[in-house]
Chains A and B, each alone.
Chain A
Amino acid sequence: MQLSIITPEATAYEGEADSVVLTTRDGEIGILPGHLPLTTLVEAGNVTVTRAGKSEDLAVDRGFAEVSGDEIRILTEAAVGVGEIDLEAVERAEERARRYIEEAEGQPHADPYELEQAHGSLRFALVQRLAKGRKRR
């Protein structure tokens, strides 16, 4: 199977896979070659790619996945390979977002758009940390 993870900025991942596990809105699903054509909504979370007995984790934001023929395409607004995750940077981002949200919630005039962005980056930071944590275990 051919897997590609595509984000608005670039194609984040492209390669062969024997099986792919991803988190959809209805729960985790595994996709093996010959899967029925499927379009499903992907939640922020982990994508596990197995190839020749080795597995690799990727963290993705919300989006959707399309399985058709022998191809899986995951379209998401952000994705990062677990190997590339810089835990310190993620923690800093998480901390920043948390602090911003805390401050903003105290006052009524907080910019809702900034708040939304902070929530988004917090969500993605958590996902990245979880993905990295799983790898370590």
Chain B
Amino acid sequence: MANTRDIRNRIKSVKNTAQITRAMQLVAASKMKRAQDLAVKGQTYADRLLATLASIAEQLGEEETVAHPYLEKREVKRRGILLVTTDRGLCGPLNSNLFREIVRFPEEPPVRWFNIGRKGRQYLVRTKRDLQADFTISDKAGYGEVRPILTAMDEQFRAGEIDTIEILYPRFVNTLNQEPRLTPLVPLDNLREFLAEREGEFGQLPSDERQMIFEPGAAEVLSEVLDLYIRKSLYQRILDAKASEHSARMVAMKAATDNANNLVEDLTLEYNKARQAAITQEILEISAATFFNES
């Protein structure tokens, strides 16, 4: 049977671990709250952009089309995917689920990767994939931090280096559940279909019977709004990924704390047993000694 002192040391160290994981759980919980708030607060912007797109599309009439790189149909020679991972681990299977998705990707057409997060960079480099650019963003995930990423992808798309803009990220389902999700954003083959699909998201268009004026022109405004919308869509998903990260970490750390506490219980039981055994042993030895002395 194990030595009582060893068990005591072990209990102490497990308790320390539980304390650390508990602290991490609390930190992740508060960060998760912040990330969720941010995602919710930014939603109005996306909804308004969509509503504006819809009202412009309505004005343009059925036949008119707008020349915009995002609306062009072109052969996909190389996909551009933004991978959103975390900088730090201890967040359960969040990143490995994403990597499992990547393994399942078809070989053709080739993919050019853009990456956020240290874990994703390590993976892409290790598996020797075409990593074009790597970015780090803080937990605050301000729009200013994300802007260069969006610009980089947009430039490559316009230059014909990549033919799609997609994002692979852990979608936030609920606190306990995040699923890897690949969302293609560009090209939008058909603006009207795209808007029809999202009709529920922006609600009723503002009712104003008077004709809307566009300055400098409907097509210019549409292309500007479309740019903003795609950037915002990417940003919104990055915020979502941040919320996922923190909730996954919170859950993982909660599980770790619970496990550590269970372990402490088990060890305490073992410790008491060992202590009892030692005492019994000692009494046995003393009574045996007395017995021999008397006889």
The answer to whether A9 touches B42 (Cβ under 8 A) is yes
B 54-71 contacts with A by CB, 8 A? 55-56
Q: How far apart are A94's CB and chain B's nearest CB, in angstroms?
A: 14
A26-B216, A113-B133 as given contacts; A41 in contact with B143, CB under 8 Å: no
B 134-160 binary contact with A (CB < 8 Å = 1; else 0): 000000001110011101100100000
Q: Which residues of A contact B149 (CB under 8 A)?
A: 113
Q: Which residues of A contact B155 (CB under 8 A)?
A: 112
The answer to whether B41 touches A11 (Cβ under 8 A) is yes
The answer to whether B215 touches A37 (Cβ under 8 A) is no
The answer to whether A116 touches B212 (Cβ under 8 A) is no
A55 within 8 A of B: no
B208 within 8 A of A: yes
B213 within 8 A of A: yes
Q: How far apart are B288's CB and chain A's nearest CB, in angstroms?
A: 79
Q: Which residues of B contact A47 (CB under 8 A)?
A: none
Q: Which of A60-68, A100-108, A129-137 contacts B (4 or more CB under 8 A)?
A: A60-68
Q: How far apart are A76's CB and chain B's nearest CB, in angstroms?
A: 9
Q: Which residues of B contact A68 (CB under 8 A)?
A: 206, 208, 212
Q: Which residues of A contact B14 (CB under 8 A)?
A: none
Q: Which residues of A contact B152 (CB under 8 A)?
A: 113
A10 within 8 A of B: yes
Q: Which residues of B contact A66 (CB under 8 A)?
A: 48, 52
| A contacts, CB < 8 Å to B | 6-11, 24-26, 36-41, 63-64, 66, 68-69, 71, 73, 75, 77-78, 112-114, 116-117, 120-121
Task: Rank and list the top 6 A-B pairs by shortest CB-CB distance, nearest first.
Answer: A113-B148, A40-B215, A10-B41, A37-B212, A68-B206, A8-B143
